[in-house]
Structure 1
Amino acid sequence: MKHNALNTLLILMAIAVIGTVTSLSIFYASPYVRTWDEVDFTLAIERFDLLAMQPHFPGYPYFILGGWIMNLWMNNGLKALSAFNALVALSAVLPMFWLARRLSGSGAKSLLFPALVASSPYLWLMSSRPMSECAGMALLWWFLWSVRYALDRPASLLRHGLALMMLGFLLGTRLSFFPFSLALVPLWLNLWQGPGRWRKLGYAALAALLFQLVWIAGLVMSEGTLAGFWKLSIAFVEGHFSEWGGGIVSTPMPIGERITQLVFRNLAGSALTAGSALIAVALVLLVVIAGGSRIFLRIRSGAQSRENRQFIYGLVGCAVVYGLWALLGQNIEKPRHIVPLLAPMFLLLFVLIIRTTEQLEAAKQPLPSVMRAIMYGLLVGLIITQTIYGAELQKRQAVEEPAVYQLHDYVRQIQDPFVLFTWEETRVLHYLGADYDHDRIYTYSYFQALAEANAKRRVLLTDHVVQGFIQQGKPVQGHLKQIAEFTSEALFDPAYHRIILYEWVR
C-alpha cells in the first residue's frame, strides 16, 4: 500500500511539473527577437521567402507552417512560434513516456522521464523562443519512439512507414538533426535478414525519399523553379562551410580548444545544467551512485530484449555521429547546436537509474534499500530543482533586454551624424526598424572606403567588427575609442551577450 501511494505521488508530481513547464513557456514567451535566426523565422510568418532569408535555407517548412497556423489566432509571429514550440514540446511527453517505459520496464513511473526532460532549464528556455530547435527536439522524440515501435514488427508496413514519416517531419523541421536518421539502421538490418531483402530495402529507401521530397517540393515551389532553388541551396551550403557557418573551416579555432568549448561550455555548462552548480552536482551524483551501485554491489544488468539492445546501440551511434557533426560542422559559439545530444544522454541515464533501483529493491537488504532511496531522492530533487531554476530563467528571459536592444536604444539617441557598422547585429536592427545609418561590414578595405566617404560623419563600430578586422591582420590599435558597453545574460545570448561600442578615430 505504501509503495503504491509513493508511486502515485511521483506520478502526480511529474504531471504537475509538465503542466507547469508548458504553462510558463507560453506565459513567459520571450518578447524579444535576439538573433539573426530568430528574425528570419519571425519574418517568415508574414512572408515566406528563402531569397530574402525569411527564413534562411533550408526553410524549416514544418516549423514555419506550425507557427503560421498558430498566428491565425494570435496575430503575433514571434509569440506564435513560441506557442507552437510549447505545444509540440507538450506532445513529446507521449513518445518520451513510451520509450522510457519500454526500455526501463518501470510502468507508470516512466512519466518521471518526460518531467526530467521537460524541466531541463536550457531545453525549457528554447520552448519559449521563436527557434526551431525545440520543435526539432520534440519531433526527434517522436521519431525515436517510432523506430523502437517498428523494431517490434519490422516487417509491418504501417510501423515502418510511420518511422519514415516521422523522419520526414524531423528533417523538414530541423535538417541539422540528420545524423539521427542512422537510428533506422537496426530497423533496416532486420529487413536485410529476411527474404526479399533487396526489394524490401529498396521500397524502404524509396519511401524515405518520398517523405523528404514532400517538404523539399514545397520549398522548390516557393522559390519558383528547381534551378533557382538549386542555386540558392548551393550558395547557402558553400557559405555555411567556408565563410559564416561557424564550422571548423570557417572559424579559426584549434581543434583542442573547439573540443573543450563544445564539451565543457556548450554541453556541460549550458545544455545540461544551464549554468547551475546544483543541477551539475545532482547529475554527477546520479551517475556515480547508479554506476557505483552496479559495480560494488555486483548488480547485473537486467536482460534487455534484442530489440531494446538494437535500439540502444543505434542511439549511441547517432549520438557519436551527431557529436562529430556539432564539433566540425556547426557554429561552436552557439550551445543550442549541441542540445540533440541530450536525448540519448537523458534517456540512457534514466534507464540506468530505474533498472538499478529496481534490482536494488529485489535484493531486499539494508544497504541496497538505502542506495535505492538515495537515487530516487536525487532524481526527484533534480526534477524539482530544474523546475524552480528553469522558472526563474524563464522570467528573466522575458524581462531582461538583450544587449543588441540596448545598443539600439543608445545609438538612436545620438544627435550627431553617424554611421554604425556591425556584424550579425544588423539583422536585429533592421527588424527593430532602426532609422539611422547602419550596415554589416565584412572587410577592412570596404570599411575604410565607407568610413572616409564622409569626413563629417562619426564612425561607430561594434567589438565583433573589430575582432573581424584583427583576424584579417589589419591595424586597428590607436583608432578605437570605447564609448559604451552593453551586457545581457550569456545563457540567453551566447554570441552577443556583451557588445562594446567603439568610435573610429581617423
Structure 2
Amino acid sequence: MNKRFGDRFWIGFGVGTAALLVGACLYWASPYAATWDEVDFSLALERYDVLAMQPHFPGYPYFVLGGMAVHAFIANPAKALSILNVLVLFSAAFPIVLLLARHMPRPAALWAALSVLSSSYVLLASARPMSDGAALGVLWWYMWAVERAHRQKTWKAQLLPAAFFSVLMGIRLSYAPFGAALLFLWHEDWNRHRRFGRVAASVLAAALFQLIWVAAAARTEGGLFSFFQLGWAFVHGHFSDWGGTAAASPLPFSERVQRFLIDNFLWTGIACQNAWLLAAYAAIGAIAWRAGRFRLPRALVVSALLYAVWALLAQNIEKPRHLLPLIHFTLFYVWGRFFASPRPWGAALAAAAVLLQAAVGIGQLREQVVTPPAVYQLADDLRDKRQPFVVYTWEETRVFDYLRVPFPHKEVLHFSFFLQDKENYRHAAIYMTNHVIEGFKAQGIDVSRHVRKVKTYRSSLLADPVYGTITLYEWVDGAVR
C-alpha cells in the first residue's frame, strides 16, 4: 500500500512538474528573430520561397507547415515557431518513457524522461524560432519507432520509423546521420529472412516517404532540377565559406575538438554554463556509473556517434545548439543507469535535479525574452539618430530587413567593396559593427586605428553566442586606402 501510494505521489508530482515546465517554456518562448536563420524561418510563415531564403535550402516544409498552423493563433511568427518547438519537444516525453519503461518501473521512467527533457541548455536552445526543438522531439519518436520495429520483427513495423525519418528530414536535414538506424533494421531483416525483395521494398518505402517533402519543396522552385541546383549552391557555400565547418574554419583541429567536447558539450550543453549544475551532474554521473547496468540501443549509439563526427566536422563550432541530440542521449544514458537499480531516494534526487535544471533553464529563458537581442537594441538606437548615416554589417542586415528599419544598411564582406561603396556617403556618418571589422582583419586588413567605438550591445550569449554581443563603431578616417 505504501509503495503504491509512493508511486502515485511521484507520478503525480512528476506530471505536475512537467506541466509547470511546459507552461513556463511556452510563456517565455522567444518572440525574436535575431539571427539570419531565424529570420529565414519567420519570413517563411508569411511567404514560402526557398530561392529567397524563406527559409533556406532545403525548405524544411514540415517545420514551416507546423509553424503556419501555430501562426494562425499566434500573430508573431517568431513566437509561433518557438511555441511549436516547445510543444513538439515535450511530446518526446512519451517515446522516452516507453523506451525506459522496459528497464525500470513507470514512475522511475517518468522521472528519468523529465530529467532529460528539463535539460537547461536544451530548453533555452529549443524555445527559439529555429527547427532544433521540433527536430529533437521527432528524433525521439523516430528512435522509439526503430526500437519498436526491432522488437516486432515484421516488415510493416519498418514503415513507421521510415515515416518518422522523413518527417525528421523535413524539419532538420542535418540530422541525416541518424538514418543509420534504418540501416540496422534493414540489415537485421536481411539476416533473418535473406529475401532481397523485402529489403528493397523497405528501402523504396523510405525513399517514397522522403519524396513527399522533397517534391513539395521542389514544386515551389520550378521542379526537382532547379531545386537540386539551389541545393548544390547552398551546400558548396556551407562547406567552403560561411558554414563554420572544419574545412572553412581557420581554427586548428585540436582546438576545435577541445571546444567541441569541453566548451560546447560539457560546459554549455550539460551544465548550461552553471557551476552548480556541473557539480550536480558530476555527482549524479558518479552514482550512475556505479549503479546497475543499462545499455543503450545499438542503433542509437552508432547513429549518435556518426552524428557527433558530423557535428564536429560539418557544423559551425561557434553554435553549441548543434549538439542537442548528443546532450539528450547522454542524459538519457546517465539517468537510465541511475534508475537501473531501484533505490528509495532515487526519485527525490531526480526531482532535485529537475528543479535545479528547470530553475536555471527558465531563468535563461526569461532573460532572453526580457533583454532584447543585441541586434534589436542596435536597431532601436540607430532609429533615433537624426544625422544622415549608413551602417555596414554582416548578418545583422538580414535582421534589419526583417525589422523594416528606416535607415540605410548594407552587408559588406570584403574591404575593397567597402572602400568603393563608402564614397557614396561622403556627407553621412559611416558606422560598422565589430563583425565587419573582424571580417576585415581575417582578410589581413587592420582598421582599428581608423574607427571609434560608439557603443556595445549585449544580450544572452547562451542563446546567441555569435551575435549576443555587438559593438558599433564609427569610421573616422576617410583617407585610408
Mark yes or no: TM-score above 0.5: yes
Q: Does 1:88 align with 2:88?
A: yes
Give the structure 1 partner of residue 386 of structure 2.
415
Give the structure 2 partner of residue 24 of structure 1.
24
Encode CA deviations 1:305-339: one digit per residue, 9 max, x unaligned: xxxx6x62221211211111111100111111111
Give the structure 1 partner of residue 43 of structure 2.
43
How many angstroms does 1:5 deviate by? 2.8
How many angstroms does 1:123 deviate by? 1.8
Q: Does 1:381 align with 2:375?
A: no
Encode CA deviations 1:321-372: one digit per residue, 9 max, x unaligned: 11111111001111111111123212211221111x33xxxxxxxxxxxxx4
Encode CA deviations 1:73-128: one digit per residue, 9 max, x unaligned: 333322221222222123221111101112x2323421112211221122222343
Separation in 1, partners of 2:61, 2:223: 17
Please say if residues 60 and 173 of structure 1, whose CA atoms lie closer than 8 Å, have aligned partners that are also in contact: yes
Q: How does 1:193-232 map to 2 (within 5 A)?
A: 193-232=191-230
Separation in 1, partners of 2:335, 2:443: 48
How many angstroms does 1:373 deviate by? 4.9
Q: How does 1:92-111 map to 2 (within 5 A)?
A: 92-102=92-102, 104-111=103-110
- C-alpha change, 1:49 and 1:486, in structure 2 (3 Å) is same
Which of 392, 397, 419 does residue 363 from structure 2 map onto?
Answer: 392
Separation in 2, partners of 1:27, 1:268: 28
Give the structure 1 partner of residue 169 of structure 2.
171
Give the structure 1 partner of residue 75 of structure 2.
75
How many angstroms does 1:376 deviate by? 4.4
Amino acid at match of 1:467: E
Q: How does 1:27-426 map to 2 (within 5 A)?
A: 27-102=27-102, 104-154=103-153, 156-291=154-289, 293-294=290-291, 301=293, 312-355=297-340, 357-358=341-342, 372-373=343-344, 375-426=346-397
Separation in 2, partners of 1:186, 1:253: 35
Encode CA deviations 1:161-201: one digit per residue, 9 max, x unaligned: 00110111111111101111112233222111123432221
Separation in 2, partners of 1:270, 1:482: 30
TM-score, normalised to structure 1, is 0.91
Give the structure 2 partner of residue 361 of structure 1.
none
Amino acid at match of 1:25: C
How many angstroms does 1:282 deviate by? 1.4
Please say if residues 38 and 130 of structure 1, whose CA atoms lie closer than 8 Å, have aligned partners that are also in contact: yes
Which of 442, 449, 467 does residue 478 from structure 1 map onto?
Answer: 449
Larger mean Cα displacement after TM superposition, 472-481 or 210-219: 472-481
Encode CA deviations 1:133-181: one digit per residue, 9 max, x unaligned: 0000000000000000001122x23311001101111111111011111
Amino acid at match of 1:83: I
Please say if residues 453 and 473 of structure 2, whose CA atoms lie closer than 8 Å, have aligned partners that are also in contact: yes
Q: Secondary structure at the match of 1:461?
A: strand
Separation in 1, partners of 2:193, 2:378: 66
Separation in 2, partners of 1:349, 1:475: 48
Encode CA deviations 1:425-472: one digit per residue, 9 max, x unaligned: 111111111111101111111111112333222211111111111111
Separation in 2, partners of 1:289, 1:194: 39
Amino acid at match of 1:186: F
Give the structure 1 partner of residue 463 of structure 2.
492
Q: Secondary structure at the match of 1:397?
A: helix
Separation in 1, partners of 2:8, 2:274: 29
Encode CA deviations 1:268-293: one digit per residue, 9 max, x unaligned: 222222122222111111111222x3
Separation in 1, partners of 2:434, 2:23: 38
Amino acid at match of 1:150: A
Which of 384, 394, 409 does residue 438 from structure 1 map onto?
Answer: 409
Larger mean Cα displacement after TM superposition, 265-274 or 170-179: 265-274
Amino acid at match of 1:407: L
Give the structure 2 partner of residue 363 of structure 1.
none
Separation in 1, partners of 2:94, 2:44: 30
Separation in 2, partners of 1:30, 1:107: 33
Please say if residues 286 and 379 of structure 1, whose CA atoms lie closer than 8 Å, have aligned partners that are also in contact: no
The alignment yields a C-alpha RMSD, in angstroms, of 1.7
TM-score, normalised to structure 2, is 0.95
Separation in 1, partners of 2:353, 2:319: 25
- C-alpha change, 1:218 and 1:60, in structure 2 (3 Å) is same
Q: Secondary structure at the match of 1:189?
A: helix
Please say if residues 155 and 198 of structure 2, whose CA atoms lie closer than 8 Å, have aligned partners that are also in contact: no
How many angstroms does 1:375 deviate by? 4.8
